[in-house]
């Protein structure tokens, strides 16, 4: 499921995000959402979240 809609993302959900420095390479980081940082209902590049590890990135894929 793509991570462009805020309604699809909840705290505690496992996701794959792309970090700012990895946008060119497209490297994805997997983790669990601890905070949703985007306020708008959707975003074309993915909803920005903070993972439990402290990593901030835009959701590219929702895993569960």
| Contact call for residues 35 and 49 (beta carbons, < 8 A) | yes
Radius of gyration of the chain measured on its C-alpha atoms: 10
Quick: pLDDT tens for 19-61. Answer: 999 999 999 999 999 999 999 999 999 999 999 999 999 999 9
Alpha carbon distance 21, 4 (integer Å): 19
* Other Cβ atoms closer than 10 A to 46: 22
pTM comes to: 0.92
3-state secondary structure of 39: coil
pLDDT 10s digits, 1-12: 789 999 999 999
pLDDT of residue 2: 83
- pLDDT value at residue 52: 98
């Amino acid at each position: 499921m793509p991570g462009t809609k805020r309604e699809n993302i909840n705290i505690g959900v496992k996701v794959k995000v792309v970090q700012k420095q990895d946008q060119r390479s497209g490297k994805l980081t997997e983790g669990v959402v601890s905070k949703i940082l985007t306020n708008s209902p959707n975003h074309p590049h993915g909803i920005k979240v903070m993972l439990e590890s402290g990593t901030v990135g835009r959701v590219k894929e929702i895993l569960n």
